[in-house]
């Protein structure tokens, strides 16, 4: 007997198949689909002028309703430093045995404010701009990046005031001040990565913006903003040996101490953790690049639901 093979009938062509073929033939793609990582970077670079203009506009509008206007860009961190000086420096006497305590404190407050403000604005970068996200098509990373750029611009105003404070308290201008440039570049990379991470979390869970002030306050207290970490972790404190390196190597403390080392001549290299530049670069690359990729992976979800 001859065996007859029966081939299954071809699957019916659906309307969806016809539409997919038509779209592919004309180079169409799904609206809002996540682009490849290189394409995403290219889209951001193409919109670099928008990112810069948006950051500048937000900075200008921040104090537009205040009578002192942009003066508050400098006054706000200075007033914070004044409060910390009386509470910690005077009442708790953390200024004891800390040379140039006021420049030490003001530098710490300015650099910490750059990080904390970048993170806080990141938590609301998507959730607080849903109208813009839903109305226009653009790479969503432009928002947290522009907010970090806004904070960097504000820090530059504060750094001008810091230079005056340093000179008023007898800190001389030195070639080491140029080290402030790479410190700010590395800190900006780190802050941007953190802002991107928080933007993704905040887009999914808006309540994260209510929790972050408590987390940031705790982080500030252990980062040596108002006091020297060496005094906090001295042998007489009875803390385990691993506490001091952990506190010194945390990214906020690393960037604060590097800036103090760059600007204040009484802050010596011996007060920095070992391999501090490697640590600072590592934090910037791991968090900056990792945060960018983490944000990009959820690109198609922002503004939906």
Domain presence at residue 53? yes
Q: Is 25 among the domain residues?
A: no
Q: What domain range is 155 assigned to?
A: 41-301
Confidence at residue 238, expressed as pLDDT on a 0 to 100 scale: 60
Calculate the alpha carbon distances from 200 to 53, 113, 126, 210, 302 in Å. 23, 21, 8, 15, 8
CB-based contact 70:63 (threshold 8 Å):
yes
Instruction: Please enumerate in sequence order all residues whose Cβ is within 8 A of that of 137, keeping only pairs 6 or more positions apart, or say none.
Output: 32
Q: Has residue 11 been placed in a domain?
A: no
Which of 145-154, 227-236, 265-274 holds the top average pLDDT?
145-154
**Report for 62-71, 139-148, 269-278: range of highest mean pLDDT:** 139-148
What is the rounded average pLDDT of the residues 169-192?
A: 94
Considering the domain boundaries, does residue 69 fall inside one?
yes
Q: Is residue 283 part of a domain?
A: yes
| Residue 200 pLDDT exceeds 80 | yes
Residue 142: inside a domain, yes or no? yes
| Predicted local confidence at residue 192, as pLDDT | 97
Does residue 13 fall inside a structural domain? no
CA distance 266 to 262: 10
Q: What angle do CA 286, 155, 160 make, to 5 degrees?
A: 135
Q: For residue 251, is it within any domain?
A: yes
Q: How many domains, in total, are found in the chain? A: 1
Range among 181-185, 241-245, 246-250 with highest mean pLDDT value: 181-185
Note the pTM of the prediction, 2 decimals. 0.85
């Amino acid at each position: 007997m001859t065996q007859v093979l029966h081939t299954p009938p071809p699957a019916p062509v659906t309307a969806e198949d016809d539409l997919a073929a038509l779209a592919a033939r004309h180079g169409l793609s799904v609206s809002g689909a996540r682009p490849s990582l290189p394409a995403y970077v290219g889209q951001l670079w193409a919109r670099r002028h928008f990112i810069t203009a948006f950051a500048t506009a937000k900075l200008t509008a921040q104090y537009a309703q205040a009578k002192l206007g942009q003066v508050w860009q400098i006054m706000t961190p200075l007033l914070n430093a004044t409060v910390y000086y009386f509470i910690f420096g005077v009442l708790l006497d953390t200024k004891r045995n800390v040379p140039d305590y006021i420049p030490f404190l003001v530098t710490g407050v300015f650099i910490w404010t750059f990080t904390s403000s970048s993170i806080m604005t990141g938590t609301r970068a998507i959730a607080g701009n849903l109208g813009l996200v839903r109305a226009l098509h653009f790479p969503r990373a432009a928002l947290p990046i522009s907010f970090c750029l806004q904070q960097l611009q504000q820090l530059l105003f504060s750094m001008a005031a810091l230079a005056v404070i340093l000179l008023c308290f007898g800190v001389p201008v030195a070639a080491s001040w140029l080290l402030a440039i790479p410190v700010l570049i590395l800190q900006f990379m780190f802050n941007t990565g953190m802002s991107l991470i928080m933007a993704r979390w905040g887009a999914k869970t808006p309540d994260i913006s209510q929790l972050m002030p408590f987390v940031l306050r705790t982080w500030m207290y252990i980062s040596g903003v108002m006091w020297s970490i060496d005094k906090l972790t001295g042998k007489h404190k009875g803390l385990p040996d691993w506490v001091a390196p952990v506190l010194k190597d945390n990214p906020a403390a690393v960037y604060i101490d590097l800036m103090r080392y760059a600007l204040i001549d009484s802050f010596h290299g011996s007060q920095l953790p070992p391999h501090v530049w490697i640590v600072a670069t590592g934090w910037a690359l791991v968090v900056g690049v990792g945060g960018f990729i983490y944000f990009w992976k959820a690109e198609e979800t922002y503004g939906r639901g």
